[in-house]
Amino acid sequence: MARVKELALTHLYSGKVRDLYEVDDAHLLMVASDRLSAYDVVMNEPIPQKGRVLTGLTDYWTRAFASNVPSALVTCDPEEIEERVPGFLGHRDLHGRTMLARRAEMLPLECIVRGRLAGQAYDEYVERGTVHDMEAPAGLRLTDPFPEPIFTPSTKAEAGHDLNIDLNAAALIVGPARLEAAQTLCLDLFSRASKRLEGVGLVLADTKFELGVVDGVLVVCDEVLTPDSSRIWPADQVHAGEVPPAFDKQPFRDWLTSESWDRVPPPPAVPEEIVNVTSARYVAAYERITGRLLVDWYGF
């Protein structure tokens, strides 16, 4: 994303995937790269089109919820971004991977909703019978649904890993009223997204929402229901006790597991075939969920 410098924007932050720039006092430019990470280490090989998939899906879901769920996202349309960022149209490599967003005071919580038992929640459940230190039904197997989707927050760590916490701990961080509002909003979004995905033969196992406050209103921020923030499974391949194939970087994870890497830089070189199949998974996610071709999204 080196060419963003030519737009004379102030760089604010670089994460494992996204770069954040200041547009003005009220707006930010968020650019999703094709970077791929594992164990907080960024690989040297990018995954083609990953950033456009993440941005395109965020735009899709934001529009789907737009009638009654406020969002920080203003637009992904390069022509509309050009109005606030002169010269943007000339940077075609940024098209389709860039969001113009309103500044928000971010909630210091990761707002995770779980519909099925998987990932870290499964590991904790096997060990202690709880999920985020909260009681969970007995006898659940991997991929089994909870009786109802559950809100399971975690901290946002400045360094290291986020910590899973229960609702009482979350209330101490953001206050009971704000926590209740976040919980209600996220559970509603999860339910609505799940129904949409069921319609195309997919299961939403869990997802993470980022929330913030704009002009006193709680809004959805950053990426929404993407393969990086969600576990999305083909419904016909979900079997209790087994890990289903996911529309995310699972091929990369499987390959990395077979490597003898100590999880500290430098990372191992990712083979071209793993890069290609992982890219294909991301593109398939976009096209299956939206019913559109990725080549019809901005930037092609």
Tell me the CATH architecture of domain 106-237: 2-Layer Sandwich (3.30)
pLDDT digits (tens, 9 = 90+) for 176-202: 999 999 999 999 999 999 999 999 999
Residue 86 has pLDDT above 60, yes or no: yes
Torsion of CA 195, 69, 120, 179, to 10 degrees: -130
- As a whole number, the mean pLDDT across the chain is 95
Question: HEC profile for 19-47?
Answer: EEEECCCCEEEEEECCCCEECCEECCCCC
| Spatial separation of the C-alpha atoms in residues 203 and 243, rounded to whole Å | 13
Q: Say if CB 1 and CB 91 are below 8 A apart.
A: no
With cut-offs at 50, 70 and 90, classify the pLDDT of residue 1. low
Q: Which of 231, 224, 239, 238 is nearest to 204 (CA)?
A: 231
Residue 74 has pLDDT above 80, yes or no: yes
- Could you tell me the residue ranges of all domains in the chain? 2-103, 106-237
**Class of domain 2-103 (CATH, top level):** alpha beta
Residue 72 identity (one-letter amino acid): A
Order across the sheet with 18-22: list the strands.
10-14, 18-22, 27-32, 98-102, 73-75
pLDDT digits (tens, 9 = 90+) for 220-245: 999 999 999 999 999 999 999 999 99
